[in-house]
Structure 1
Amino acid sequence: MLMREALLAPLWPRRSGTLPSLPKTIQIAVTAATMGLLVAAAALPEDRDAAPAAASAAPASTAHNPGRESDFGAYLGAPYHYPSDFHLKKTGVTDLTIKDIPWYTNPFENPLYYGVRFQRWFEGGRLGTMLDFTHSKVYAPMKEGERAFEGTLDGKPAPASAKIGDYFNKLEWTHGHNMLTLNGLLRLPSLGVISPYAGVGAGMSFPHSEIHLKTDEKRTYEYQYTGPCAQALFGLEFRLRTGSIFIEYKFTAADYWGPLTGRDGTWFPIDMWRQFSRWWSGEEPPNGWAGSKLVSHQVIGGFLVRFVPKTATQ
Protein backbone atom coordinates (compact mmCIF):
# COMPACT_ATOMS: atom_id res chain seq x y z
CA MET A 1 0.00 0.00 0.00
CA LEU A 2 2.82 2.40 0.82
CA MET A 3 4.41 1.83 -2.58
CA ARG A 4 1.15 2.53 -4.37
CA GLU A 5 0.72 5.72 -2.36
CA ALA A 6 4.25 6.83 -3.23
CA LEU A 7 3.86 6.20 -6.93
CA LEU A 8 0.14 6.63 -7.60
CA ALA A 9 -1.10 7.55 -4.47
CA PRO A 10 -10.16 22.73 3.01
CA LEU A 11 -11.98 22.75 5.70
CA TRP A 12 -15.66 23.38 5.10
CA PRO A 13 -18.69 21.59 6.57
CA ARG A 14 -21.02 19.45 4.51
CA ARG A 15 -23.47 21.26 2.25
CA SER A 16 -26.86 22.25 3.57
CA GLY A 17 -28.71 19.95 1.17
CA THR A 18 -30.92 22.50 -0.55
CA LEU A 19 -30.15 21.46 -4.13
CA PRO A 20 -29.71 17.66 -4.13
CA SER A 21 -33.43 17.14 -4.65
CA LEU A 22 -33.35 19.13 -7.89
CA PRO A 23 -32.76 17.26 -11.15
CA LYS A 24 -29.24 17.43 -12.56
CA THR A 25 -30.51 19.33 -15.61
CA ILE A 26 -31.83 22.15 -13.40
CA GLN A 27 -28.58 22.30 -11.44
CA ILE A 28 -26.59 22.51 -14.67
CA ALA A 29 -28.89 25.21 -16.07
CA VAL A 30 -28.53 27.30 -12.91
CA THR A 31 -24.78 26.77 -13.05
CA ALA A 32 -24.55 27.89 -16.68
CA ALA A 33 -26.73 30.96 -16.16
CA THR A 34 -24.83 32.16 -13.10
CA MET A 35 -21.51 31.41 -14.76
CA GLY A 36 -22.48 33.41 -17.83
CA LEU A 37 -23.40 36.47 -15.77
CA LEU A 38 -20.12 36.34 -13.84
CA VAL A 39 -17.82 35.93 -16.82
CA ALA A 40 -19.65 38.59 -18.84
CA ALA A 41 -19.36 41.07 -15.99
CA ALA A 42 -15.65 40.31 -15.68
CA ALA A 43 -14.70 40.49 -19.37
CA LEU A 44 -17.10 42.76 -21.22
CA PRO A 45 -16.38 46.13 -19.56
CA GLU A 46 -13.09 46.29 -21.45
CA ASP A 47 -15.03 46.53 -24.73
CA ARG A 48 -17.84 48.96 -23.99
CA ASP A 49 -16.32 51.74 -26.08
CA ALA A 50 -17.52 50.89 -29.57
CA ALA A 51 -16.20 54.06 -31.21
CA PRO A 52 -14.25 53.38 -34.45
CA ALA A 53 -11.21 55.26 -33.14
CA ALA A 54 -11.02 53.09 -30.04
CA ALA A 55 -11.43 49.93 -32.07
CA SER A 56 -8.66 50.89 -34.45
CA ALA A 57 -6.33 51.63 -31.54
CA ALA A 58 -6.57 48.08 -30.25
CA PRO A 59 -3.62 45.88 -31.32
CA ALA A 60 -4.88 43.41 -33.91
CA SER A 61 -2.67 40.64 -32.57
CA THR A 62 -4.57 40.46 -29.28
CA ALA A 63 -7.93 39.66 -30.89
CA HIS A 64 -8.01 38.64 -34.56
CA ASN A 65 -4.46 37.29 -34.85
CA PRO A 66 -3.51 35.11 -31.85
CA GLY A 67 0.24 34.94 -31.35
CA ARG A 68 2.81 34.74 -28.59
CA GLU A 69 1.10 35.63 -25.32
CA SER A 70 0.52 34.68 -21.69
CA ASP A 71 -2.99 34.28 -20.28
CA PHE A 72 -4.31 34.09 -16.75
CA GLY A 73 -7.88 32.95 -16.22
CA ALA A 74 -10.55 31.63 -13.90
CA TYR A 75 -13.70 29.63 -14.48
CA LEU A 76 -16.83 28.05 -13.04
CA GLY A 77 -18.51 24.90 -14.25
CA ALA A 78 -20.75 21.89 -13.88
CA PRO A 79 -19.27 18.36 -13.68
CA TYR A 80 -20.86 14.95 -14.05
CA HIS A 81 -19.15 11.97 -12.42
CA TYR A 82 -19.71 8.46 -13.72
CA PRO A 83 -20.82 5.93 -11.09
CA SER A 84 -17.88 3.93 -9.77
CA ASP A 85 -16.91 1.47 -7.04
CA PHE A 86 -15.56 2.59 -3.68
CA HIS A 87 -12.95 0.42 -1.96
CA LEU A 88 -11.89 0.37 1.69
CA LYS A 89 -9.19 -1.95 2.97
CA LYS A 90 -7.75 -2.46 6.43
CA THR A 91 -5.45 -5.47 6.64
CA GLY A 92 -7.03 -8.42 8.46
CA VAL A 93 -10.18 -6.49 9.34
CA THR A 94 -11.96 -4.91 6.35
CA ASP A 95 -11.88 -5.46 2.61
CA LEU A 96 -15.02 -3.71 1.41
CA THR A 97 -16.30 -2.74 -2.02
CA ILE A 98 -19.43 -0.63 -2.52
CA LYS A 99 -20.57 -1.02 -6.10
CA ASP A 100 -21.52 1.70 -8.60
CA ILE A 101 -21.93 4.68 -6.32
CA PRO A 102 -23.76 7.48 -8.23
CA TRP A 103 -21.56 10.37 -7.13
CA TYR A 104 -23.04 13.84 -7.22
CA THR A 105 -21.45 17.30 -7.24
CA ASN A 106 -23.61 20.32 -6.22
CA PRO A 107 -21.29 22.75 -8.06
CA PHE A 108 -22.96 25.91 -6.75
CA GLU A 109 -23.20 24.95 -3.10
CA ASN A 110 -20.33 25.86 -0.82
CA PRO A 111 -17.59 25.13 -1.53
CA LEU A 112 -18.08 26.17 -5.17
CA TYR A 113 -16.81 24.36 -8.24
CA TYR A 114 -14.10 26.58 -9.71
CA GLY A 115 -10.77 26.57 -11.48
CA VAL A 116 -7.80 28.77 -12.30
CA ARG A 117 -5.22 28.44 -15.06
CA PHE A 118 -2.10 29.99 -16.54
CA GLN A 119 -1.46 29.59 -20.28
CA ARG A 120 1.59 30.37 -22.38
CA TRP A 121 1.31 30.43 -26.19
CA PHE A 122 4.53 30.25 -28.18
CA GLU A 123 5.62 32.16 -31.26
CA GLY A 124 2.95 31.93 -33.94
CA GLY A 125 0.22 31.19 -31.40
CA ARG A 126 -0.37 27.63 -32.61
CA LEU A 127 1.15 25.63 -29.73
CA GLY A 128 1.03 26.34 -26.02
CA THR A 129 1.14 24.98 -22.50
CA MET A 130 -1.24 25.36 -19.57
CA LEU A 131 -1.07 24.79 -15.83
CA ASP A 132 -4.65 24.07 -14.79
CA PHE A 133 -6.09 23.70 -11.28
CA THR A 134 -9.63 22.35 -10.95
CA HIS A 135 -11.59 22.31 -7.69
CA SER A 136 -14.50 19.92 -8.14
CA LYS A 137 -16.47 17.93 -5.55
CA VAL A 138 -17.59 14.34 -5.01
CA TYR A 139 -20.44 13.35 -2.67
CA ALA A 140 -21.77 9.85 -2.01
CA PRO A 141 -25.57 9.59 -1.58
CA MET A 142 -25.84 8.65 2.08
CA LYS A 143 -29.57 7.96 2.42
CA GLU A 144 -30.73 7.66 -1.18
CA GLY A 145 -31.31 4.01 -2.00
CA GLU A 146 -29.32 0.90 -1.24
CA ARG A 147 -26.02 0.03 -2.91
CA ALA A 148 -24.50 -3.44 -3.39
CA PHE A 149 -21.82 -4.30 -0.80
CA GLU A 150 -19.13 -6.95 -1.28
CA GLY A 151 -16.34 -8.35 0.90
CA THR A 152 -15.82 -8.01 4.64
CA LEU A 153 -16.47 -5.20 7.09
CA ASP A 154 -14.97 -5.13 10.59
CA GLY A 155 -14.15 -8.82 10.41
CA LYS A 156 -17.63 -9.90 9.29
CA PRO A 157 -19.20 -10.51 5.89
CA ALA A 158 -20.59 -7.28 4.45
CA PRO A 159 -24.35 -7.09 3.86
CA ALA A 160 -25.53 -7.83 0.34
CA SER A 161 -26.92 -4.30 0.09
CA ALA A 162 -27.36 -1.30 2.35
CA LYS A 163 -27.58 2.45 2.40
CA ILE A 164 -24.16 4.05 2.61
CA GLY A 165 -25.34 6.22 5.50
CA ASP A 166 -26.03 3.08 7.55
CA TYR A 167 -22.27 2.46 7.78
CA PHE A 168 -20.63 5.82 7.08
CA ASN A 169 -21.01 9.19 8.72
CA LYS A 170 -19.19 10.78 5.79
CA LEU A 171 -17.99 9.65 2.38
CA GLU A 172 -16.92 12.52 0.14
CA TRP A 173 -14.06 14.45 -1.35
CA THR A 174 -15.14 18.07 -1.06
CA HIS A 175 -13.16 21.26 -1.02
CA GLY A 176 -12.39 19.34 -3.03
CA HIS A 177 -11.79 16.82 -5.78
CA ASN A 178 -8.66 18.86 -6.60
CA MET A 179 -6.66 18.20 -9.78
CA LEU A 180 -3.48 19.98 -10.86
CA THR A 181 -2.45 19.21 -14.45
CA LEU A 182 0.19 20.31 -16.93
CA ASN A 183 -1.31 20.40 -20.42
CA GLY A 184 -0.22 20.79 -24.02
CA LEU A 185 -2.45 23.03 -26.15
CA LEU A 186 -3.12 23.25 -29.88
CA ARG A 187 -4.90 26.26 -31.36
CA LEU A 188 -7.09 25.39 -34.34
CA PRO A 189 -7.80 27.77 -37.27
CA SER A 190 -9.63 30.85 -36.00
CA LEU A 191 -13.03 32.07 -37.18
CA GLY A 192 -12.68 35.81 -36.70
CA VAL A 193 -12.52 36.44 -32.97
CA ILE A 194 -13.57 32.83 -32.23
CA SER A 195 -10.49 30.72 -31.60
CA PRO A 196 -11.03 26.95 -31.12
CA TYR A 197 -8.41 24.97 -29.20
CA ALA A 198 -7.77 21.49 -27.87
CA GLY A 199 -5.44 20.00 -25.31
CA VAL A 200 -4.40 17.04 -23.23
CA GLY A 201 -2.54 16.79 -19.95
CA ALA A 202 -1.73 14.86 -16.80
CA GLY A 203 -0.97 15.65 -13.19
CA MET A 204 -1.78 14.83 -9.59
CA SER A 205 -4.85 14.72 -7.36
CA PHE A 206 -4.87 16.51 -4.01
CA PRO A 207 -8.40 16.04 -2.64
CA HIS A 208 -9.69 16.97 0.76
CA SER A 209 -10.74 13.52 1.98
CA GLU A 210 -13.72 13.42 4.32
CA ILE A 211 -14.34 9.78 5.22
CA HIS A 212 -15.68 8.38 8.48
CA LEU A 213 -16.74 4.77 8.93
CA LYS A 214 -19.14 4.63 11.87
CA THR A 215 -17.10 1.96 13.63
CA ASP A 216 -13.94 4.08 13.49
CA GLU A 217 -13.37 6.29 16.48
CA LYS A 218 -12.18 9.26 14.44
CA ARG A 219 -12.81 10.61 10.96
CA THR A 220 -10.26 11.36 8.23
CA TYR A 221 -10.65 15.03 7.35
CA GLU A 222 -7.59 16.41 5.57
CA TYR A 223 -5.86 17.22 2.30
CA GLN A 224 -4.09 14.24 0.74
CA TYR A 225 -2.12 13.19 -2.28
CA THR A 226 -4.09 10.25 -3.66
CA GLY A 227 -2.71 9.48 -7.12
CA PRO A 228 -2.46 10.58 -10.76
CA CYS A 229 -5.06 12.29 -12.91
CA ALA A 230 -5.41 13.14 -16.59
CA GLN A 231 -7.65 15.26 -18.79
CA ALA A 232 -8.50 16.03 -22.39
CA LEU A 233 -10.25 19.23 -23.43
CA PHE A 234 -11.78 21.18 -26.28
CA GLY A 235 -12.88 24.80 -26.11
CA LEU A 236 -13.88 27.98 -27.88
CA GLU A 237 -12.19 31.25 -26.97
CA PHE A 238 -14.05 34.46 -27.81
CA ARG A 239 -11.29 37.03 -28.06
CA LEU A 240 -12.18 40.56 -26.95
CA ARG A 241 -9.96 43.64 -26.97
CA THR A 242 -7.81 42.86 -23.92
CA GLY A 243 -9.23 39.59 -22.68
CA SER A 244 -11.29 36.58 -23.64
CA ILE A 245 -14.38 34.64 -22.64
CA PHE A 246 -14.14 30.88 -23.14
CA ILE A 247 -16.37 27.85 -22.91
CA GLU A 248 -14.85 24.39 -22.68
CA TYR A 249 -15.56 20.69 -22.35
CA LYS A 250 -13.16 18.60 -20.24
CA PHE A 251 -12.95 14.85 -19.77
CA THR A 252 -11.07 13.97 -16.58
CA ALA A 253 -9.98 10.76 -14.88
CA ALA A 254 -8.43 10.35 -11.43
CA ASP A 255 -7.38 7.21 -9.54
CA TYR A 256 -7.80 7.84 -5.81
CA TRP A 257 -6.12 5.73 -3.17
CA GLY A 258 -5.46 7.45 0.13
CA PRO A 259 -4.77 6.72 3.80
CA LEU A 260 -7.49 6.82 6.44
CA THR A 261 -5.53 8.55 9.18
CA GLY A 262 -8.33 9.32 11.61
CA ARG A 263 -7.03 12.87 11.81
CA ASP A 264 -8.47 16.34 11.32
CA GLY A 265 -6.07 18.25 9.11
CA THR A 266 -5.29 21.95 9.00
CA TRP A 267 -3.66 23.71 6.03
CA PHE A 268 -2.64 22.10 2.78
CA PRO A 269 1.18 22.34 3.28
CA ILE A 270 0.95 20.93 6.79
CA ASP A 271 -1.26 18.03 5.68
CA MET A 272 1.13 17.23 2.82
CA TRP A 273 4.13 17.30 5.13
CA ARG A 274 2.46 14.96 7.61
CA GLN A 275 1.51 12.53 4.86
CA PHE A 276 5.06 12.54 3.51
CA SER A 277 6.49 12.05 7.02
CA ARG A 278 4.22 9.08 7.67
CA TRP A 279 5.15 7.52 4.31
CA TRP A 280 8.87 8.13 4.95
CA SER A 281 8.71 6.44 8.34
CA GLY A 282 6.77 3.46 6.94
CA GLU A 283 3.81 4.04 9.26
CA GLU A 284 0.55 2.37 8.24
CA PRO A 285 -2.61 4.51 8.59
CA PRO A 286 -4.68 3.37 11.60
CA ASN A 287 -7.98 3.05 9.70
CA GLY A 288 -6.67 1.53 6.47
CA TRP A 289 -6.89 2.80 2.90
CA ALA A 290 -9.76 3.95 0.68
CA GLY A 291 -10.31 5.15 -2.84
CA SER A 292 -12.19 5.12 -6.09
CA LYS A 293 -11.71 5.82 -9.79
CA LEU A 294 -13.40 9.10 -10.64
CA VAL A 295 -14.16 9.70 -14.32
CA SER A 296 -15.98 12.92 -15.20
CA HIS A 297 -17.45 15.12 -17.90
CA GLN A 298 -17.03 18.80 -17.09
CA VAL A 299 -18.47 21.83 -18.86
CA ILE A 300 -16.84 25.09 -17.84
CA GLY A 301 -16.85 28.75 -18.77
CA GLY A 302 -14.66 31.63 -17.70
CA PHE A 303 -12.52 34.57 -18.67
CA LEU A 304 -8.87 35.16 -19.55
CA VAL A 305 -6.69 38.24 -19.21
CA ARG A 306 -4.03 38.41 -21.94
CA PHE A 307 -0.46 39.66 -21.60
CA VAL A 308 1.10 40.21 -25.03
CA PRO A 309 4.79 41.18 -25.55
CA LYS A 310 5.20 44.63 -27.10
CA THR A 311 6.99 43.18 -30.10
CA ALA A 312 3.86 41.13 -30.89
CA THR A 313 1.67 44.25 -31.02
CA GLN A 314 3.87 46.40 -33.24
Structure 2
Amino acid sequence: MFKSLKVAIAALFVMATPAAAEFELSFYMGLQGVQDSTGSGTLPGGAPFSRNIDWEGNSLDTPFYYGGRVTWWTQNNIGFGIEGTHAKAYASNADLAALGLSRFELSDGHNIITANIMKRFPDAFANSRFTPYVGAGLGIAIPHVDAQVIGATNRTFDYETTGFAARGIAGMKYALNDKWSLFGEYQATWSDNDITIDADPAVPGQTAGKLDTTLVTHAVNIGISYSF
Protein backbone atom coordinates (compact mmCIF):
# COMPACT_ATOMS: atom_id res chain seq x y z
CA MET A 1 0.00 0.00 0.00
CA PHE A 2 2.75 2.48 0.95
CA LYS A 3 4.68 1.55 -2.20
CA SER A 4 1.66 2.33 -4.38
CA LEU A 5 1.16 5.70 -2.68
CA LYS A 6 4.84 6.60 -3.16
CA VAL A 7 4.57 5.81 -6.87
CA ALA A 8 1.46 7.98 -7.16
CA ILE A 9 3.15 10.90 -5.37
CA ALA A 10 6.25 10.61 -7.56
CA ALA A 11 4.04 10.63 -10.67
CA LEU A 12 2.36 13.85 -9.50
CA PHE A 13 5.73 15.54 -9.06
CA VAL A 14 6.80 14.52 -12.56
CA MET A 15 3.54 15.72 -14.10
CA ALA A 16 3.53 19.02 -12.25
CA THR A 17 7.14 20.14 -12.52
CA PRO A 18 7.56 20.88 -16.25
CA ALA A 19 4.68 23.36 -16.50
CA ALA A 20 4.57 24.55 -12.89
CA ALA A 21 3.33 28.13 -12.62
CA GLU A 22 2.50 28.49 -8.93
CA PHE A 23 3.10 26.81 -5.58
CA GLU A 24 0.32 27.14 -2.96
CA LEU A 25 0.24 26.27 0.73
CA SER A 26 -3.19 25.99 2.38
CA PHE A 27 -4.28 25.45 5.98
CA TYR A 28 -7.85 25.06 7.26
CA MET A 29 -10.07 24.30 10.22
CA GLY A 30 -13.81 23.73 10.31
CA LEU A 31 -16.81 21.72 11.40
CA GLN A 32 -16.61 17.97 10.68
CA GLY A 33 -19.09 15.16 11.18
CA VAL A 34 -19.07 11.40 10.56
CA GLN A 35 -21.80 9.27 9.02
CA ASP A 36 -23.10 6.22 10.86
CA SER A 37 -21.48 3.01 9.65
CA THR A 38 -21.67 -0.73 10.19
CA GLY A 39 -18.83 -2.04 12.33
CA SER A 40 -18.16 -5.76 12.34
CA GLY A 41 -15.42 -8.04 13.57
CA THR A 42 -14.33 -9.70 16.79
CA LEU A 43 -13.34 -8.52 20.24
CA PRO A 44 -10.00 -9.75 21.65
CA GLY A 45 -10.54 -13.43 22.38
CA GLY A 46 -12.84 -14.00 19.41
CA ALA A 47 -16.35 -12.83 20.43
CA PRO A 48 -18.01 -11.66 17.18
CA PHE A 49 -20.04 -8.46 16.73
CA SER A 50 -21.83 -6.55 14.00
CA ARG A 51 -23.52 -3.25 14.78
CA ASN A 52 -24.48 0.08 13.25
CA ILE A 53 -22.24 2.61 15.02
CA ASP A 54 -23.33 6.19 15.67
CA TRP A 55 -20.09 8.14 15.26
CA GLU A 56 -19.52 11.64 16.62
CA GLY A 57 -17.05 14.11 15.10
CA ASN A 58 -16.58 16.54 18.04
CA SER A 59 -14.56 18.78 15.75
CA LEU A 60 -14.42 21.69 18.22
CA ASP A 61 -13.11 19.56 21.11
CA THR A 62 -9.36 19.21 21.54
CA PRO A 63 -7.53 17.98 19.59
CA PHE A 64 -9.27 20.14 16.97
CA TYR A 65 -10.17 19.09 13.45
CA TYR A 66 -7.75 20.63 10.93
CA GLY A 67 -5.96 20.00 7.66
CA GLY A 68 -3.44 21.30 5.17
CA ARG A 69 -2.34 20.79 1.59
CA VAL A 70 0.35 21.79 -0.85
CA THR A 71 -0.61 22.32 -4.50
CA TRP A 72 1.47 22.87 -7.62
CA TRP A 73 -0.69 24.84 -10.08
CA THR A 74 0.18 24.51 -13.76
CA GLN A 75 -0.40 27.17 -16.39
CA ASN A 76 -3.71 25.58 -17.45
CA ASN A 77 -5.03 25.85 -13.84
CA ILE A 78 -4.73 22.14 -13.12
CA GLY A 79 -3.17 21.47 -9.71
CA PHE A 80 -1.29 18.46 -8.30
CA GLY A 81 -0.51 18.05 -4.64
CA ILE A 82 -0.59 16.33 -1.28
CA GLU A 83 -3.18 16.82 1.50
CA GLY A 84 -3.45 15.65 5.09
CA THR A 85 -6.61 15.93 7.22
CA HIS A 86 -6.78 15.37 10.98
CA ALA A 87 -10.44 14.29 11.20
CA LYS A 88 -11.96 12.58 14.26
CA ALA A 89 -14.46 9.84 15.09
CA TYR A 90 -15.84 8.81 18.49
CA ALA A 91 -18.18 5.86 19.11
CA SER A 92 -21.28 6.87 21.10
CA ASN A 93 -21.78 5.76 24.70
CA ALA A 94 -24.62 3.45 23.66
CA ASP A 95 -22.40 1.73 21.09
CA LEU A 96 -19.55 1.37 23.58
CA ALA A 97 -21.84 -0.36 26.06
CA ALA A 98 -23.29 -2.67 23.40
CA LEU A 99 -19.85 -3.65 22.10
CA GLY A 100 -18.31 -4.19 25.54
CA LEU A 101 -15.85 -1.33 25.25
CA SER A 102 -15.06 1.41 27.74
CA ARG A 103 -13.62 3.62 24.98
CA PHE A 104 -13.24 3.62 21.22
CA GLU A 105 -12.12 6.76 19.43
CA LEU A 106 -9.92 7.99 16.63
CA SER A 107 -9.31 11.30 18.37
CA ASP A 108 -5.61 11.94 17.80
CA GLY A 109 -6.65 11.82 14.21
CA HIS A 110 -8.64 9.76 11.79
CA ASN A 111 -5.80 10.93 9.56
CA ILE A 112 -6.44 10.94 5.81
CA ILE A 113 -3.42 11.43 3.50
CA THR A 114 -4.10 11.77 -0.23
CA ALA A 115 -2.46 12.71 -3.51
CA ASN A 116 -4.77 15.28 -5.11
CA ILE A 117 -5.72 16.59 -8.53
CA MET A 118 -7.34 20.05 -8.48
CA LYS A 119 -9.00 22.35 -11.02
CA ARG A 120 -9.59 26.08 -10.51
CA PHE A 121 -11.65 28.53 -12.59
CA PRO A 122 -10.10 32.02 -12.31
CA ASP A 123 -12.30 33.47 -15.08
CA ALA A 124 -15.61 32.25 -13.65
CA PHE A 125 -16.48 35.75 -12.44
CA ALA A 126 -15.31 38.69 -14.57
CA ASN A 127 -13.08 41.23 -12.75
CA SER A 128 -13.57 39.39 -9.46
CA ARG A 129 -11.30 38.29 -6.64
CA PHE A 130 -13.34 35.08 -6.29
CA THR A 131 -12.09 31.81 -7.80
CA PRO A 132 -14.07 28.55 -7.51
CA TYR A 133 -12.24 25.22 -7.47
CA VAL A 134 -12.86 21.48 -7.22
CA GLY A 135 -10.60 18.56 -6.45
CA ALA A 136 -10.30 14.87 -5.63
CA GLY A 137 -7.65 12.65 -4.09
CA LEU A 138 -6.69 9.05 -3.38
CA GLY A 139 -4.52 7.79 -0.55
CA ILE A 140 -4.55 6.02 2.82
CA ALA A 141 -6.11 6.25 6.27
CA ILE A 142 -3.74 6.34 9.27
CA PRO A 143 -5.94 6.75 12.36
CA HIS A 144 -4.68 6.90 15.91
CA VAL A 145 -6.70 4.12 17.54
CA ASP A 146 -7.64 4.61 21.20
CA ALA A 147 -9.66 1.59 22.42
CA GLN A 148 -10.16 -0.42 25.58
CA VAL A 149 -12.29 -3.47 26.31
CA ILE A 150 -14.27 -3.34 29.57
CA GLY A 151 -12.20 -5.08 32.25
CA ALA A 152 -9.03 -5.31 30.14
CA THR A 153 -5.69 -4.46 31.73
CA ASN A 154 -4.37 -2.82 28.55
CA ARG A 155 -5.40 -0.09 26.12
CA THR A 156 -4.91 0.01 22.35
CA PHE A 157 -3.21 3.37 21.78
CA ASP A 158 -1.26 3.64 18.54
CA TYR A 159 -1.30 4.72 14.89
CA GLU A 160 -2.49 2.09 12.41
CA THR A 161 -2.54 2.05 8.62
CA THR A 162 -6.08 0.77 8.14
CA GLY A 163 -6.91 0.99 4.42
CA PHE A 164 -7.43 3.09 1.33
CA ALA A 165 -9.01 6.55 1.42
CA ALA A 166 -10.45 9.13 -0.98
CA ARG A 167 -11.58 12.75 -0.77
CA GLY A 168 -13.67 15.23 -2.73
CA ILE A 169 -13.44 19.03 -2.50
CA ALA A 170 -15.53 21.97 -3.78
CA GLY A 171 -14.72 25.51 -2.69
CA MET A 172 -14.30 29.21 -3.34
CA LYS A 173 -11.16 31.30 -2.85
CA TYR A 174 -11.03 35.07 -2.27
CA ALA A 175 -7.74 36.80 -3.14
CA LEU A 176 -6.60 39.35 -0.54
CA ASN A 177 -3.60 40.20 -2.72
CA ASP A 178 -1.29 38.38 -5.15
CA LYS A 179 0.08 36.17 -2.32
CA TRP A 180 -2.61 35.64 0.31
CA SER A 181 -6.13 34.26 -0.04
CA LEU A 182 -9.01 33.19 2.16
CA PHE A 183 -11.16 30.21 1.20
CA GLY A 184 -14.24 28.28 2.20
CA GLU A 185 -14.99 24.77 1.04
CA TYR A 186 -17.02 21.62 1.47
CA GLN A 187 -15.00 18.45 1.81
CA ALA A 188 -15.90 14.76 2.13
CA THR A 189 -13.59 11.83 2.85
CA TRP A 190 -14.15 8.10 2.50
CA SER A 191 -11.98 5.41 4.07
CA ASP A 192 -12.01 1.63 4.37
CA ASN A 193 -10.72 0.75 7.84
CA ASP A 194 -9.41 -2.58 9.15
CA ILE A 195 -8.62 -1.72 12.78
CA THR A 196 -6.76 -3.95 15.25
CA ILE A 197 -7.71 -4.02 18.96
CA ASP A 198 -4.79 -5.38 20.97
CA ALA A 199 -5.12 -8.58 23.02
CA ASP A 200 -4.98 -8.33 26.80
CA PRO A 201 -1.50 -9.49 27.91
CA ALA A 202 -3.01 -10.63 31.22
CA VAL A 203 -5.07 -13.28 29.37
CA PRO A 204 -2.72 -16.07 28.14
CA GLY A 205 -3.20 -16.96 24.48
CA GLN A 206 -5.83 -14.30 23.80
CA THR A 207 -5.97 -13.23 20.14
CA ALA A 208 -6.26 -9.62 18.99
CA GLY A 209 -9.63 -8.21 17.97
CA LYS A 210 -10.64 -6.61 14.68
CA LEU A 211 -13.11 -3.90 13.72
CA ASP A 212 -13.88 -3.41 10.03
CA THR A 213 -15.84 -0.32 9.00
CA THR A 214 -16.15 2.27 6.26
CA LEU A 215 -16.04 5.85 7.51
CA VAL A 216 -17.41 8.85 5.60
CA THR A 217 -16.77 12.35 6.94
CA HIS A 218 -18.32 15.65 5.87
CA ALA A 219 -16.77 19.01 6.68
CA VAL A 220 -17.21 22.72 6.04
CA ASN A 221 -13.76 24.33 6.12
CA ILE A 222 -12.47 27.88 6.38
CA GLY A 223 -8.80 28.51 5.67
CA ILE A 224 -5.97 30.64 4.37
CA SER A 225 -3.57 30.10 1.46
CA TYR A 226 -0.18 31.52 0.54
CA SER A 227 1.04 31.38 -3.08
CA PHE A 228 4.51 31.93 -4.52
Give the TM bin, normalised by the shorter chain: 0.7 to 0.9
| CA contact 1:134–1:180 (8 Å) conserved in 2 | yes
- Aligned to 1:73, which of 26, 31, 34? 26
Residues 285 and 179 of structure 1, relative CA distance in 2, 3 Å threshold: farther
Aligned to 2:182: 245
Residues 107 and 130 of structure 1, relative CA distance in 2, 3 Å threshold: same
Aligned to 1:52: none
User: Aligned runs of 1:166-185 on 2, under 5 Å?
Assistant: 167-185=100-118
Residues 140 and 190 of structure 1, relative CA distance in 2, 3 Å threshold: same
Aligned to 2:55: 103
Deviation at 1:287, TM superposition (A): 2.0
Higher strand share: 2
Matched, 1:93 2:46: yes
AA matched with 1:184 = I
| CA contact 1:260–1:286 (8 Å) conserved in 2 | no
Select between 254-263 and 242-251 the one with higher mean Cα deviation. 254-263
Select between 102-111 and 201-210 the one with higher mean Cα deviation. 102-111
Matched, 1:135 2:86: yes
Aligned to 2:64: 112
Select between 183-192 and 108-117 the one with higher mean Cα deviation. 183-192
Matched, 1:256 2:193: yes
User: Aligned runs of 1:216-235 on 2, under 5 Å?
Assistant: 216-235=152-171
Aligned to 2:13: none
User: Aligned runs of 1:127-166 on 2, under 5 Å?
Assistant: 127-142=78-93, 146=94, 164=97
Distance in 2 of aligned mates of 1:295 and 1:240:
33
Deviation at 1:216, TM superposition (A): 3.5
SS at match of 1:225: coil
SS at match of 1:244: strand
SS at match of 2:55: coil
Distance in 2 of aligned mates of 1:137 and 1:185:
24
SS at match of 1:257: strand
Distance in 2 of aligned mates of 1:297 and 1:81:
6
The number of aligned residues is 204
Distance in 1 of aligned mates of 2:44 and 2:198:
14
| CA contact 1:105–1:139 (8 Å) conserved in 2 | yes
Identity, % of aligned positions: 27
CA shift digits 1:82-133 (9 cap, x unpaired): 111122325972221122x221111111101011110110123x21112110
SS at match of 2:56: coil
Distance in 1 of aligned mates of 2:208 and 2:21:
51
SS at match of 1:256: strand
- Root-mean-square deviation (CA), in Å? 2.6
- TM-score normalized by structure 2? 0.81
| Unmatched runs of 5 consecutive residues or more in structure 2 | 5-19
Distance in 1 of aligned mates of 2:51 and 2:168:
28
- Aligned to 1:199, which of 115, 119, 135? 135
Aligned to 2:124: 190
Deviation at 1:259, TM superposition (A): 1.9
- TM-score normalized by structure 1? 0.60
| Unmatched runs of 5 consecutive residues or more in structure 1 | 8-66, 148-162, 264-283, 308-314
Higher helix share: 1
Distance in 2 of aligned mates of 1:90 and 1:220:
12
| CA contact 2:46–2:209 (8 Å) conserved in 1 | no
Deviation at 1:206, TM superposition (A): 0.6
Aligned to 1:40: none
Q: Which has the larger radius of gyration?
A: 1
AA matched with 1:306 = S
| CA contact 1:228–1:254 (8 Å) conserved in 2 | yes
